[in-house]
Amino acid sequence: MRKRRKKYNAAVAFIVVIMCMILWYLPSIAIAEPEGDFPDQDPDEWRLILVNKQHPIPNNYIFETGRIHNGLMVDERITGALDDMLSAAKEDGVLLLVISPYRSREKQQRLFDEKVSRSMRHGSSYLDAFRETAQAVTIPGSSEHEIGLAVDLTTKKHITLDAAYADSEGGIWLKEHCAEYGFILRYPEGKEDITGIEFEPWHFRYVGKETAAYIMEHDLTLEEYVGMLR
């Protein structure tokens, strides 16, 4: 009887942990009303695929990878736009570095597990370490890097991935010009409760020029934009 009770208690504890994680994931999204210049688009178009904690990558999602000028891989459909953006920045005197392009599920899992382990070594419980990690490293199966539509961009003058990058020459140039090439600042400051990810001024996602222009002009997240389409 005692063994059964222990197993029961362990099962209950596990369920509580899972429920806490699920409740913590749920975003707070108030769907805004589209304005007059809202693009008429199909929400199921490949460039608008919403990937986050609540919308993991579909099991049947497939794409072809292609290489940009430096040999790094992304979805082949965005290679031209990304190369064009990198070239334009260079012409303006800003040498952008792609430090994280397409990332396999295995690599995403390794990065996530490593950060959880580091947090636990510093005294965090597993649940606290998981929560902390999920704010900075997307849960495997829910990362835009895994679908090749997102890149992390820095410069030699500011190589560190931190909030201060937003005020560096690379961060400023990207926020001003990314939409011209179909990219958006994916995790903007002040929208953490919607995206579920901390402010990342280095993470840019391809959505197409028309969509990018609207999102950046109206200070939206992809979650809000897709919600307006549906």
Distances (CA, A) of 138 to 85, 111, 198, 209: 25, 9, 10, 25
What confidence score (pLDDT) does residue 18 get?
A: 43
Asked if residues 68 and 83 have their Cβ atoms less than 8 Å apart, the reply is yes
Q: Of 27, 55, 30, which is closest to residue 220 (Cα–Cα)?
A: 30
Cβ burial, residue 109 (10 Å; 0-12/13-18/19+): middle
Q: Which residues of 155-168 are buried (b: 16+ CB within 10 A; e: fewer)?
A: beebeebeeebbeb
The rounded distance, in Å, linking the Cα atoms of 55 and 23 is 15
Q: Of 157, 155, 151, which is closest to residue 200 (Cα–Cα)?
A: 151
Report which secondary-structure segment, H or E, holds 4. helix 2-25
Return all residues near 17 (Cβ < 8 A) that are at least 6 apart.
Answer: 127
The rounded distance, in Å, linking the Cα atoms of 229 and 223 is 10
Q: Does domain 2-103+143-229 have CATH number 3.30.1380.10?
A: yes
Query: Helix, strand, coil proportions of the chain in percent (round to 5)?
Result: 50, 15, 35
Tell me the Ramachandran region of residue 196: left when phi exceeds 0, alpha when psi lies from -120 to 50, beta otherwise. Answer: left
What confidence score (pLDDT) does residue 132 get?
A: 87
Q: Where are the domains of the chain?
A: 2-103+143-229
Q: List per-block mean pLDDT (blocks of 10 residues) for the chain, which spans 230 residues.
A: 49 42 48 71 93 94 94 97 98 97 91 92 92 84 96 96 97 98 98 95 98 97 94
What confidence score (pLDDT) does residue 35 get?
A: 67
Q: Is-catalytic flag, 64?
A: no
What confidence score (pLDDT) does residue 17 get?
A: 42
* Catalytic position from the list 200, 210, 217, 224: 200
DSSP bridge pairs for 158: 155
